[in-house]
A and B are shown apart, each in its own frame.
Chain A
């Protein structure tokens, strides 16, 4: 009986306070719509940034006369004995030659059959930020200030310094600014929703006062408000999701073939996004109603 009573009370007050309820629903709708657009955008951007960061590499050039045994020894050192190593790819002299010749056939025609390229290991760090440490592991700086490789078969260890620094700093700025924007947006959404709910509750503070005076417990008063919040949140959330779905089908899907960013695999699944938005709208709205009521309950 209690639940049906609370539900009846909640629907009654929704009907009676249609305008404030609509305002609360509209604020949930707008907020969720913004979040629904923003979450995939942040994800695509950070996904793209991560992809760029993944390109940070350390090239380990071997001596021109390195034997197969030496190559195997270096491979073993890299894969088993060295810290900060993520992925190791071996590019043999012949492979490098073929690849470069394909890129620049005219220049390689002049070289004839001689192959000046060394055997190379392309080593990616376990985390992009560890690229410097990985280089230090493979070629520590000696007291004389020069670098000495850890294996005699290694000629040189290079990390394309300029490119790496640029990539790391640029992607860090992108990620940080996106995180900051996301935080700001979530904060603004919560404030907007709770403010709208507060206004609608303020109009009904006399009602709450009377309820307290006839001996209603805090939760007896609070439940209908929470249920009302759930209904308003769910309605706003569902409407936002419908609009997002229309937007996705009408605008985003046709562009997928042309823009790799939109089709980026890191973007959240739409189903998961719907679930997150619906949960967030209901939770924020219900909690907002329940918590905003606190100050009016102190009678």
Chain B
């Protein structure tokens, strides 16, 4: 049994047949298991999840939401609102202090430590700071992710050029990360995250370090990946991008979910110039009083 089947369960039937065939999975009704939740289309389920850090800080405070297979979701909110905590919980860098998290029907809190690497192979992760291996070429950075899953050299030779073509990096094959621009580094990071064709892709501030033009390119790339049937969850501050794409938006504040819209904007209502002016005035007066 492949790792993806073992950890993310049977794939829902509405996935594009071509993609399922590409992953070597049988096309037909998915096998139902007794422990699957009633709605197997949820790839992510958070139920009253709390994350209280030992320092006393609150990462999440009773967060409840679902993400369905094949959705593109933005998570927005100010710094410290809990977006990165959700990402960390999903890649099992941390464990929730209360509540239940299920990924493809599997509760994460009961997962053994030895099973975590196999679980992570089914999740692609893109970080704001790229997290590339500095002493490996673009090709080797991507090949390493495949090697870690036990891929043979033949598979690596077949898959890496494909994903490099998808991300537009075919000419940068032998470059080291420090020879690439920020946008190119992020493309390598996306390529590495997607090379195993994971059913779920998480991106934590993927455009945080990039200029608007490059950001657009990265978002287009993520959207293209989403169009192949991959569920994409993006935590971002990029209001311009969120407003342009009009996808589902989950807004967090102080660890709580305060908004969940199927086709939302970055902010519920844009701040007017007058309101912004008032804010500046208040700040100026506060400074004068000190």
Contact = CB atoms under 8 A, between A and B. Distances in A.
Contact of B117 (A12, A16, A209, A215): A215
Contacts, number: 49
* SS of A interface (majority): helix
Contacts of B117: 212, 215-218, 220
A206 B152 CA distance: 25
A206 B127 CA distance: 13
A3 interface: no
B135 A211 contact: no
A215 B153 contact: no
Given A1-B153, A215-B117, A217-B117, A210 B148 contact: no
A206 B130 CA distance: 12
A16 B131 contact: no
Size bracket of the A interface:
10 to 19
Contacts of A249: none
Contacts of B135: 12-13, 16, 207
A123 B125 CA distance: 81
Contacts of A1: 152-153
A295 B91 CA distance: 19
A5 B149 contact: no
Contact of A210 (B91, B132, B149, B196): B132
Interface residues of B, number: 23
B152 A215 contact: no
A110 interface: no
A298 to B, nearest CB: 9
Interface in A263-299: 299
B147 A5 contact: yes
A184 interface: no
A250 interface: no
Interface string A248-267: 00000000000000000000
A210 B133 contact: yes
Interface in B74-92: 91
B226 interface: no
B149 A213 contact: no
A215 B133 contact: no
A214 interface: yes
B118 A215 contact: yes
B246 interface: no
B159 interface: no
B121 interface: yes
Interface string B76-117: 000000000000000101000000000000000000001001
B271 to A, nearest CB: 37
Contacts of B125: 213
B192 interface: yes
Given A1-B153, A215-B149, A220-B117, 12 more contacts: A16-B135, A206-B131, A211-B148, A212-B117, A215-B120, A215-B121, A215-B145, A215-B196, A217-B117, A217-B118, A217-B148, A299-B93
Report, nearest first, the 3 A-B pairs whose CB atoms are least far apart: A215-B121, A216-B148, A215-B120
Interface of A: 1, 5, 12-13, 16, 206-207, 209-218, 220, 299
